[in-house]
Amino acid sequence: SRFFVLQSIGPTGFILRDEGDQKFKACIGAQHSCSCGRCGDEHCVHTAFVLLKVLKVPPDNPLCWQSSLTDGEISDVLATRQRDVE
């Protein structure tokens, strides 16, 4: 599936749209969440998309596969993303 970012809700929340025009709200943080309802102990495709493609966490980085992130880990991910943008 292909996803598109429609809107950013703060630094770690995103409204996504899939190819079928269905919208999802995916948030990364102390507990990852998604409006698809499939996000629990493991990532759903939407939270994985946010981490891998939007926030550009490399797939070999353990943060990419954790089911939650600490405030420090979130800061590191956001700082890396900001450096990539500049």
Higher pLDDT pick, 66 / 1 = 66
**pLDDT tens digits along 25-77:** 999 999 999 999 888 778 899 999 999 999 999 999 999 989 899 999 999 99
Instruction: State the pLDDT at residue 84.
Output: 66
Chain centroid to Cα 37, Å, comes to 15
Q: Please check the confidence at residue 86 and state whether its pLDDT lies above 70.
A: no
Cα dist from 64 to 21, 38, 42, 48, 86, whole Å: 26, 17, 11, 7, 22
- Residue 38 is predicted with a pLDDT of 87
Residue 42 has a pLDDT of 83
Cβ atoms 28, 38 nearer than 8 A: no
φ, ψ of residue 56 in degrees (nearest 5): 60, 40
Alpha helices in the chain (DSSP H): 45-49, 71-85
